[in-house]
Amino acid sequence: MMKKEVKQYSSWNQLTKLICVLTFLFCHSYGVINVNATLKRNFNDTTYNNLDSITVKSRLVQKNKINLPYSLVQKNAASIKFGNYRTTPEALMGSSGVFVQKTNHGGGSAIIRGLTGNQTLLMLDGVRLNNATFRYGPNQYLNNIDLYTIDQIEVSKGTGSVEYGSDAIGGVIHLHSYRPMYNQKKTWNSSTTLKYLGQDMEKTARAAVQYSQKNFAIQSGITLRNFGDLVGGKNIGVQSPSGYDETGVNTIARIQLNKAGEITISSRFFIQKDVPIYHKVLLESFKVNKIAKQERNIQSIQWEKNLSSKYLSKIKVTQSFQYSNEERESNKLNSVIYKYEIDQVNSNGTSVDLYSNPTKNWQINSGIDYNADKIKSALIDKNLTTGISVSKRGLYPNNSSYKSFSVFNLHKIDLKKWHIEAGLRYNRFGIQLTDTSIGQVNINPSALVGNAGISYKLNTTNLVYASLSSGYRAPNIDDMGTLGIVDFRYELPSNSLEPEKSLHYEMGYKLNTKMVQFDLSGFYLNLKDIITRQKVTGSIINGYQVYSKQNSDASYIKGFETNLALQLNQQFKWSSNLTYTYGQNETKNEPMRRIPPLFGQQELAWKKNNTQILVQHLFAGKQDRLAQGDKDDNRIGKNGTPNWNVFNISLNQQFKNIFIQLGGINLLNEKYKTHGSGIYAMGRTYSLLVQFNL
């Protein structure tokens, strides 16, 4: 039986006592612990930095953001910490070109260049997070990474297939973990973080410890979180059931091997329990519909070494092991059948990067990537009256496998005023599954993609750029093997799918001075062979319209993004951004699905000494330009989504060993939800975070 008893962390006392005891025992065992210097560094890092001093952690090389011939959003440790964000997806809200959809309180899916789900790629420290069951449309997997462990987030928009492979049609969200630093002296650091969100909407406790010496550094942490039912804005009230529990444990260690290079070992465990799918309970006659368990384990080991030859200046090898477990439970009103579903994915990944510097201004990265997924899937229907359980075929064909092998070559050339990037990748896949409805399927699709970008400095402060990127997304097991209820439809498997293909054009302008940052970019994304759900006319199963997937559509997405930041004086900084996206399905002659409305953010920051105040204004226009699929989606409906304006404020104060953050959220108590979301965002409330550095 899949259903297991789950220990609940519903009490604030349980959370805080456990964390405080763990921290106290550790500190007591090792004596006096130094103040966390990283926290002080991050606090001072909130002042504005020129673009030419901001480093981007590209796979090719670390490079300056100002030179990039494409658009990139970067969130550093300071902006994450002081933004008073709740989860990793919510840390991207308000970012230029990134729109966050939330099907449920425990989810969060970033929409980039009008695309989301398995059409955008998630990476963590160079490890691919997308697996063979990532589904089309919004998903919850970005929220499976603990925000408290992230040091930097980078979002590359409209590019990434050459650098990282399949799924990067909309772009790449690359999460970079906090890495403990070496120290000449043996040093222990420790921090304890407690957070409370009004009306019991969040209770968080985290403890982290770090040890550093000359050639070794390690950090470990545990995060325990209880999210109560989400309280919406004006006239919405408590949205029940929507609350859930979450636990995250992480360890990262660095070992300096002197002439042999460096090894980095990382381990993550993350679990969410009893996450309700609120809109299904509210709108689809479910008594119970929840993700009973969402579990993700990520282990990786990376070895890198600098070499003296210009033809092989560095080598980096990364090996990763991942385990994903998703258990769902559902029970319709007036039904005696209680469904238990389980999907498990075991993933192995290997990547080898070879770096060379043939000349002073020319850098090359060549390498290989290999990934393999194995899927286990099952369904049990239990009759609540008789107690009899019946095993059935799960959402995916059991024992399906998905393998990918690719080779790539990337180039970066820096001349006096010109910056050039170009590359190629060849990818081949092996997809195997067996299903009673479509039989034995064994296909080997492949793709060859390339990119080229160029930027030109008009003078010391002005730059223009243009880029062209081809992309692709190979069909995965979710595309080919899904059988059952997905969202508001019933889906059938498909055995004849080809990779989706894209061609992305972008042109832009950047201005960078000590007091002003400004950039403006326009893009056009052409899509063909899009894998979409097609309605099977006249076919209804269990009261749901039946769909199957086909390479059926050609579409385009175009738009613009603009950012402006002004350092008004030593204390005040003002910034704003605006994004417009227009998508058209040329095959159906209708709008593309889930295209965000016009959206953006304004922020005013004041900082003096160790005090900072942030005032945010997030906004979005109405979206009533809808595809038929949007109108049929009960999260959107035929009238679309109205416009909204939200104001937040955050007060951050750093004392010697204590950091305090007091936040006011949705100050006007706006009733709103982001376009495509299945739950209203939180109404007016407050938050309090306290971090102790002992």
The H or E element containing residue 40 is helix 37-44
The pLDDT value recorded for residue 508 is 97
pLDDT above 80: residue 16 = no
The pLDDT value recorded for residue 548 is 78
The pLDDT value recorded for residue 550 is 84
Q: Strands of 436-492 (E only): list them.
A: 439-443, 446-457, 462-473, 484-486, 489-492
* Alpha-carbon torsion (54, 59, 61, 65), positive or negative: negative
Question: Nearest 5°: phi and psi at 389?
Answer: -110, 140
Query: Residue 638: is it exposed, middle or buried by C-beta count within 10 angstroms (0-12/13-18/19+)?
Result: exposed
Note whether 190 and 168 are within 8 A (CB): no
Q: With bands split at pLDDT 50, 70 and 90, how would you rate the model's confidence at 21?
A: very low
The distance in angstroms from the start CA to the end CA of the chain is: 45
- Predicted model pTM: 0.91
The pLDDT value recorded for residue 539 is 79
Q: Which residues contact 511 (CB under 8 A, 6 or more apart)?
A: 461, 462, 463, 517, 518, 519
The pLDDT value recorded for residue 63 is 63
CA distance 96 to 156: 11
| Averaged pLDDT for residues 361-370 | 96
pLDDT above 90: residue 259 = no
* Portion of the chain with pLDDT greater than 70, in percent: 90
* Alpha-carbon torsion (167, 581, 641, 577), positive or negative: positive
Higher pLDDT, 105 or 5: 105
The pLDDT value recorded for residue 341 is 97
The pLDDT value recorded for residue 55 is 65
Mean pLDDT lowest among 161-165, 432-436, 461-465, 626-630: 432-436
CA distance 475 to 274: 30
pLDDT above 80: residue 253 = yes
The pLDDT value recorded for residue 487 is 64
The pLDDT value recorded for residue 434 is 87
Note whether 193 and 222 are within 8 A (CB): no
CB atoms within 10 A of CB 336: 12
Q: Which residues contact 480 (CB under 8 A, 6 or more apart)?
A: 431, 433, 441, 493, 494, 495, 497, 549
pLDDT above 70: residue 200 = yes
Return the top range by mean pLDDT from 79-83, 299-303, 393-397, 631-635. 299-303
The pLDDT value recorded for residue 151 is 96
CA distance 242 to 238: 9
Of the candidates 179, 178, 172, 176, the residue with the CA atom closest to the CA atom of residue 73: 172
pLDDT above 50: residue 45 = no
pLDDT tens digits, 635-684: 999 999 999 999 999 999 999 999 999 999 999 999 999 999 999 999 99
The pLDDT value recorded for residue 430 is 95
Q: Which residues contact 202 (CB under 8 A, 6 or more apart)?
A: 86, 195, 196, 225, 226, 227, 228, 687
CA distance 40 to 189: 13
pLDDT tens digits, 470-499: 999 999 998 887 776 676 677 777 777 889
CA distance 458 to 464: 7
The pLDDT value recorded for residue 440 is 85
- Summary mean pLDDT of the chain: 90
Q: With bands split at pLDDT 50, 70 and 90, how would you rate the model's confidence at 36?
A: very low
CA distance 353 to 409: 10
Secondary structure (DSSP) of 353-416? EEEEEEETTEEEEEEEEEEEEEEEEEEEEEETTT--EEEEE-SS-TTEEEEEEEEEEEEEEE-S
**Residue 293: what residue type?**
K
Query: Residue 538: is it exposed, middle or buried by C-beta count within 10 angstroms (0-12/13-18/19+)?
Result: exposed
pLDDT above 90: residue 13 = no
The pLDDT value recorded for residue 198 is 97
pLDDT above 70: residue 34 = no
- In eight-state DSSP terms, residue 680 is P
The pLDDT value recorded for residue 39 is 36
pLDDT above 50: residue 38 = no
**Residue 68: what residue type?**
L
The pLDDT value recorded for residue 62 is 61
Higher pLDDT, 492 or 336: 336
pLDDT above 60: residue 144 = yes
CA distance 230 to 276: 11
The H or E element containing residue 616 is strand 611-620
The pLDDT value recorded for residue 488 is 66
Q: With bands split at pLDDT 50, 70 and 90, how would you rate the model's confidence at 101?
A: very high
